Amino acid sequence: MAKDHADQALDRELDDLPPELRWREWLRRIEAVLFASASPIPSEDLARVVGQGVSVDLIIEDLAADLEGRSFELAKVAGGWMLRTRPAYAPAIRAAADVGEQDLDLREYDVAVLAAIAYHQPITRDGLKDIFGKEISRDLIGRLHARGLIGTGPRSPRRGAPYTYVTTDQFLVAFDLESLQDLPDREQLEDAGVMSATGT
């Protein structure tokens, strides 16, 4: 209810401003929304802070140009837009800021299990066992889940209806993917020796 009231109070059209100031205000609104959000925001949601018929894509292009050469950038991940620090500044941030649990701290095996889930989702623990040739620990599944990288998918239509696992939007953000379509081609990974033909 409060959100609806705030939507009604927001002057989207800004008819009292000259066109160049109107555009600048819309750009700053989108920048403020992205700055305040911890997760990617779809273009449709960003359109709620600008005038009717205004191209969010063009505003995004102008904002990206404004940020050129700055320590942070605009990125399209998980089907939405977000502001993030450029990778070159990661060492400086780790040296001076409390980034706490933002570091994924994944081992090679953890990444392999995560990749198997991404490529085979929805997948059960038995499905992962078939890929890896051994049982995947509940502890590992729990760690990936706690980091927000995987979630519970639909129940498997098998006897006992075991849970399945799927990747999340946080997975897409963590690995800089707009969607699962941006995962590296499996055949290329196999050719490079990163992934075997069996899926690991």
Q: 2-95 and 104-191 share one CATH topology?
A: yes
User: What does CATH list as the number for 104-191?
Assistant: 1.10.10.10
pLDDT of residue 193: 56
The residue written with tokens 């505003």 in the block is 59
Q: Which CATH number fits domain 2-95: 1.10.10.10, 3.40.50.300, 1.10.10.60, 3.40.47.10?
A: 1.10.10.10
Q: Where are the domains of the chain?
A: 2-95, 104-191
In tens, the pLDDT along 113-172 reads: 998 999 999 999 999 999 989 999 999 999 899 889 999 998 888 777 888 999 999 899
Classify 147 as helix, strand or coil: coil
Tokens describing residue 2: 């409060």
pLDDT of residue 200: 47
pLDDT of residue 45: 94
Name the pLDDT band for 198 (thresholds 50, 70, 90).
Answer: very low
- Of 73, 14, 79, nearest in space to 49 by CA: 14
CB 164 within 8 A of CB 124: yes
In tens, the pLDDT along 92-128 reads: 887 887 665 556 778 888 888 998 999 999 999 999 9
pLDDT of residue 118: 93
Residue 192 has pLDDT above 50, yes or no: yes
pLDDT of residue 182: 87
Name the pLDDT band for 20 (thresholds 50, 70, 90).
Answer: confident
pLDDT of residue 160: 79
For the chain, where are the alpha helices, taking DSSP H only?
2-9, 19-36, 43-46, 56-66, 90-96, 108-120, 125-132, 138-146, 169-174, 186-191
